Amino acid sequence: MEFRFTPMAEADAQAIRAWCYDPPYTTYNAADEEPAGFDAMAELLDPRSPHFAARLVSGAAWEREPPAGFFAFGSACEVGSEPEAPAAPHLHRADGSMTIGLGLRPDLTGRGLGLPFVEAGMTLARERYHPTLFRLFVYAWNQRAITVYERAGFTAVGRAGAPGGDGQPAFIEMTRLP
């Protein structure tokens, strides 16, 4: 199975924003996530912290298939305030590290596609952006995602974000060398 990535187009962004995850993953539904006044379409299409649509290559017409997932790179994927954060959207932190975000289409989750998807996105990022370190933030309750990230070589390095139900920051920060 092969994933291919294209810079996020408006139609892809609209399709991805309509995705609807089942519980307990509803927090990843676009409408659940966005604070009032936040322009999510603008963020998805902003090349300064770029988003890519992913498609599964299955025959010659793969480009006409709906997105199978997305990857995002840079400040759009940060949780809380990064050290010495510049105001404008950006790709790398000052130390050359890069934060990533991702999602498989709801009907493709839970089928073992996560690991090849994560590896394909990191290959894209390595080749295009040459980060010194990969970082991601994942909800501490999302064991399915954490399992995939650990299998991809990420390790937990701390917590971040506003406190969750247990009083601890809601996100686990994980990193991996490129």
Cis previous bond, 24, omega within 30: yes
Task: Say which residues have a Cβ less than 8 Å from residue 36's Cβ, sequence separation at least 6.
Answer: none
Binding segment for ligand COA among 20-28, 58-66, 81-89, 155-163 (CB under 6 A)? 20-28
Query: Is residue 149 within a helix (H) or strand (E), and if so which, with residue range?
Result: helix 143-151
Residue 26 makes contact with ligand COA by CB under 6 A:
no
Sites for ligand COA among residues 146-165 (CB under 6 A): 147-148
Shortest Cβ 124–ligand COA spacing (Å): 15
Nearest to residue 76, comparing CAs of 55, 102, 96?
102
Residue 104 makes contact with ligand COA by CB under 6 A:
yes
Residue 5 makes contact with ligand COA by CB under 6 A:
no
Binding segment for ligand COA among 3-11, 125-133, 138-146, 156-164 (CB under 6 A)? 138-146
Query: Nearer Cβ to ligand COA, position 84 or 166?
Result: 166
Query: Is residue 129 within a helix (H) or strand (E), and if so which, with residue range?
Result: helix 114-129
Shortest Cβ 140–ligand COA spacing (Å): 11
- 54 phi and psi, to 5 degrees? -110, 140
Task: Point out the residue whose Cβ comes nearest to ligand COA.
Answer: 114
Contact 158, 170 (CB under 8 A): no
Query: Nearer Cβ to ligand COA, position 90 or 137?
Result: 137
Distance (Å, rounded) from C-alpha 86 to C-alpha 117?
30
Question: Applying CB under 6 A, which residues contact ligand COA?
Answer: 21, 25, 28, 102-104, 109-114, 117, 138, 142-145, 147-148
